[in-house]
Chains A and B, each alone.
Chain A
Amino acid sequence: MNEKTTLGQIRTEDWGLIDYRDAYERQKKLAQEVGRGHDSCLVLCEHPPVLTLGRLASKNNILAPGDVLARQGMDVLEIDRGGDVTLHGPGQLVAYPIMDLKNYRRDLKWFLFKLEQVAIDFLKDFDILTCRYAGRTGVWIESKKIASIGVGAKHWVTFHGLAVNINTDLQLFNLIRPCGLNVQMTSLKELKGEKMNMQVVKQRCIYHFLRHFTRDEIRKV
């Protein structure tokens, strides 16, 4: 599935369920295009189960032995984003904003803050009140984490992004120490007590993302 819509200066694309490596290659290609002046793009997708390690991540934060991971067909990939180890899997909404921050604000901290706010705002649409903690980037409900963030930037064009647990199988997180922290993960499904409609969630995510990253909104900052 590849839906394209245009609103303002940011396109959105839905890549559906896509292998992590394929999505990474497509992100890189998109980032090059955005760097050459194409519109910024928000990509939404889900991945089959995979573990990824950010730069400077500790492999000790993968708790499951290699043979257990191999039996589950779980790949472990070292990638060029910030943050430690994380898990992606079906039911987790992954948002990759491919943005040229030269057109917005050359500020990585601001960008991370904005991504957190997008997740906080769209989760609020489902009556889930979340928060952020200084020094622990991500989105939290008290001591449980629902969204993880890790981005990369080259020539101020961003890639990687935000992963929010919607219907994610939370058992999978037992394989790792998420983000290198002794933290329990949660999901929108767990909090609401029912499986969520991913298409509806994606629409709310797009709405708040565009709201936060339109030029008018940026000028208010």
Chain B
Amino acid sequence: MQITLPELGEGIAEAAVAFWHVGVGDAVKKDDDLVEFVTDKATFTISAERDGTIKEIFFQVGEQVKIGAPIVRLDPLS
């Protein structure tokens, strides 16, 4: 499953990757922190929606990401 960058507010079209809490191959549990984004003076943390393994990371720290874009691919535990 792909996790996308959610809407962060009116007029916010993109946000920068600020910090990765995980790397490719890491096992994560539901609610674990995955990545932090920063927009203006606010950070926003994306968490895992379910248990699984990080298969792919689409952006590096400092890169700008558009709202709705996929940011990470997570293989859920079946």
Q: Which residues of A contact B (CB under 8 A)?
A: 54-56, 80-83, 106-112, 137-138, 149-155
A138 nearest CB neighbor, chain B only: B41
In B21-69, which residues have CB < 8 Å from any A CB?
33, 36, 38-45, 47, 61-62
Q: Which residues of B contact A (CB under 8 A)?
A: 7-12, 16, 18-19, 33, 36, 38-45, 47, 61-62
Binding site of A, secondary structure by majority: helix, strand, loop or mixed?
A: mixed
* Residue numbers in A under 8 Å from B9 (CB-CB): 106-111
Binding site of B, secondary structure by majority: helix, strand, loop or mixed?
A: strand
Give the residue among A54, A81, A108 with the most B Cβ atoms within 10 A. Answer: A108
Contact of B43 among A55, A107, A111 (CB under 8 A): A55
A83 nearest CB neighbor, chain B only: B41
Q: Is the Cβ of A55 less than 8 Å from the Cβ of B19?
A: yes
* Residue numbers in A under 8 Å from B61 (CB-CB): 56
The CA of A57 and the CA of B7, in the complex, are separated in Å by: 24
* Residue numbers in A under 8 Å from B47 (CB-CB): 154-155
The CA of A207 and the CA of B9, in the complex, are separated in Å by: 26
Q: Is the Cβ of B7 less than 8 Å from the Cβ of A152?
A: no
The 7 closest A-B pairs by CB, nearest first: A107-B9, A55-B18, A154-B45, A82-B41, A108-B42, A109-B9, A152-B43
B43 nearest CB neighbor, chain A only: A152
* Residue numbers in B under 8 Å from A107 (CB-CB): 8-10
* Residue numbers in B under 8 Å from A155 (CB-CB): 45, 47
